[in-house]
Amino acid sequence: MSQDEYYRGILDRISDAFIGLFVYLISTIRKGWREKNRSRIAEWKLMFYALNRSPPGVIGLFLVTIFVFLGIFGPLIAPYKYNYFPIFENSKTYLSPPGEFFVLGADHFGRDLLSLLLQGARTSLVISIIVILLGVPAGIILGLIAGYFGGKIDELIMRITDMFLAFPPLILAIAFAAVLPDRISYLINTYPPLQQFLLWLFALERTEGGNLSRLLAVMIAMAVVWWPGYARITRGSTLTEREALYVESARAIGLPSSKIMLRHILPNIIGPILVYVTLDFGTVVLTEAGLSFLGLGATPPIADWGRIVYDGTQFFPNAWWLIIFPGFIVFLDVLGWNLLGDALRDVLDPKLRRSIEFKVKKVKKSKTKDMEIKEVEHE
């Protein structure tokens, strides 16, 4: 057995164990779930096997897992708070290089760069999730409607989509950042629970209520320009899928169009959309960092990767760590999502899964044969 197969075997076993644990947890809550979903569980295992056969995909999943983990727990494990300014206590912390006071150095407020990066992981994760949660469902629904009904509805929706695609997102973001924050801050100040929820999401303290609205304005600007891509790919897939006989069969039963779209067409076209979403997680991180770099969005003391780089440009190249480290982190995050997205393309392709099913079975068979031969030799 080659080295490759050995590692793959380990990965396969890890993913099997992971799925096993998941299945065990569900079936303790819902009795009989395992029996009813045997085929589905087998399919999940195959998906992981397919992923395990693509080294970039495994790396991508690894990176993404780390960044999601940091996004959730980063602010909690950060050694210092983002709004703690050591410079007031010790002026030597001002732009102190890595290793002097802090592992990764400090910024011009003497804040620990590592803590800022950990805090920034939360900011970027929450922003990507919100932008995608706002933009993607809207795009999917519009694309489904356009593709399924066709004709004039299709024409109308797609021309509006084209208009949004033609609009430069950067200018829209700048306009939104200029106009929206006042209204948003008014809105969230009138609903304290909403404000508290948002502060909790970003792991910020109560004093940052005012800064929050600027972040939200940029997020809304991004969500507004984010859906057209999804409307397009969803429409394209819907156009081919609506001709499938199972759609006609659903109509023959009398299902209304809404149910046919959501229950029958959507699950069958979700593969390419998921790939797109994964790739977009990276793009949103990048775009958001870019907007912050331009001075839109997050403002100090909110920790944001793009903002750290922006502030760091004033002190470059002396304080190189302020640009190199956050830049590298953004690079790794985007790389992880992209690698994972590319691998998902294969993982979500059912035809490819079949061929992997065949290979896995063959490997298992040959293994048992090897063992038999060895046993015979021993005798």
Partner 1 sequence: MSLSEAEYMVQENSRTLLRVENLKKYFPVKGLFFTKGYVKAVDDVSFTIEKGETFGLVGESGCGKTTVGRTILRLIEPTGGRIVYEGRDVTKFRKNEMGWFRKKAQIMFQDPYSSLNPRQTVFQLVMEPVKHHGIGVDDPEDFVVELLELVGLNEGHLYRYPHEFSGGQRQRIAMARILSLKPDFVVLDEPTSALDVSVQANILNTLKDIQEDMDLTYLFISHDLGIVKYMSHRTGVMYLGKIVEVGESDRLFEEPLHPYTKLLFSAIPVPDPDIEKSKGKIEVQGEPPSPINPPSGCRFHPRCPYAKEICREKEPEFKEIEKNHQVACWLY
Q: Which of 341, 367, 361, 343 is nearest to 50 (CA)?
A: 343
Structure tokens at 109: 């407020």
Is 254 a binding residue for partner 1 by CB under 8 A? The answer is yes
Q: Is residue 295 within 8 Å of 107, Cβ to Cβ?
A: no
55-77 vs 113-149: helix axis angle to the nearest 10?
120
To the nearest whole angstrom, how small is the minimum distance from the Cβ of residue 136 to partner 1?
19
Selected range binding partner 1 among 166-174, 230-238, 252-260, 363-371, rule: CB under 8 A: 252-260
Nearest in space to 146 (alpha carbons), one of 214, 227, 212, 215: 227
Task: Report the residue number, 166 or 253, with the smaller CB distance to partner 1.
Answer: 253
Which lies closer to partner 1 via its Cβ, residue 37 or residue 299?
37
Compare residues 246 and 328 and give the one whose CB is closer to partner 1: 246
By the 8 A CB rule, do 115 and 210 touch? no
Which residue from 119, 104, 87, 41 is spatially nearest to 298, judged by alpha carbons? 119
Select the residue interacting with partner 1 from 268, 295, 320, 349 (CB under 8 A).
268
User: Is 253 a binder of partner 1 (CB under 8 A)?
Assistant: yes
Angle (CA) 50-55-60 rounded to 5° is 95
Q: Does 244 bind partner 1 (CB under 8 A)?
A: yes
User: What are the tokens at 359?
Assistant: 């290979």
Which residues lie closer than 8 Å to 247 by C-beta, 6 or more apart?
241, 260, 264, 265
Nearer to partner 1, 36 or 364 (CB): 36
Are the C-beta atoms of 139 and 226 separated by less than 8 Å?
yes
Taking CB under 8 A as the rule, does residue 151 contact partner 1? no
The DSSP code sequence of 41-74 is HHHHHHHHHHHHT-HHHHHHHHHHHHHHHHHHHH
Residues 37-76 that bind partner 1 (CB under 8 A): 37-40, 43
**Among residues 37 and 189, whose Cβ is nearest to partner 1?**
37
Site for partner 1 (CB under 8 A): how many residues? 24
Query: Three-class SS of residue 298?
Result: coil
Task: Provide the minimum distance between the beta carbon of 331 and partner 1 in the complex, in angstroms, as a whole number.
Answer: 37
Q: Do the Cβ atoms of 185 and 212 come closer than 8 Å?
A: yes
**Least spacing, CB of residue 245 vs partner 1, in Å:** 4
Answer yes or no: are the C-beta atoms of 294 and 309 closer than 8 Å.
no
**Least distance in angstroms from the C-beta of 32 to partner 1:** 10
For partner 1, the closer of residues 41 and 201 by Cβ is 41
Q: How far is the CB of 300 from partner 1 (least distance, A)?
A: 48
Answer yes or no whether residue 2 interacts with partner 1 by CB under 8 A.
no
Please identify, using beta-carbon distances, which residue of 214 and 264 lies nearer to partner 1: 264
The burial class, CB within 10 Å (0-12 / 13-18 / 19+), for 2 is exposed
Least distance between partner 1 and beta carbon 266 (Å)? 9
| Region 338-367 residues binding partner 1, contact defined as CB under 8 A | 350, 354
Of 161, 144, 276, the residue nearest 227 (C-alpha): 161
Chain residues 9-38 in contact with partner 1, contact rule CB under 8 A: 35-38
Q: Give the range of 129-137, 194-202, 241-249, 290-298 binding partner 1 by CB under 8 A.
A: 241-249
Q: Which is nearer to partner 1, 183 or 354 (CB)?
A: 354
Nearest of 161, 274, 181, 292 to residue 226 by alpha carbon: 161
Q: Which is nearer to partner 1, 34 or 362 (CB)?
A: 34
Residues that bind partner 1 (CB under 8 A): 35-40, 43, 244-246, 248-255, 259, 264, 267-268, 350, 354
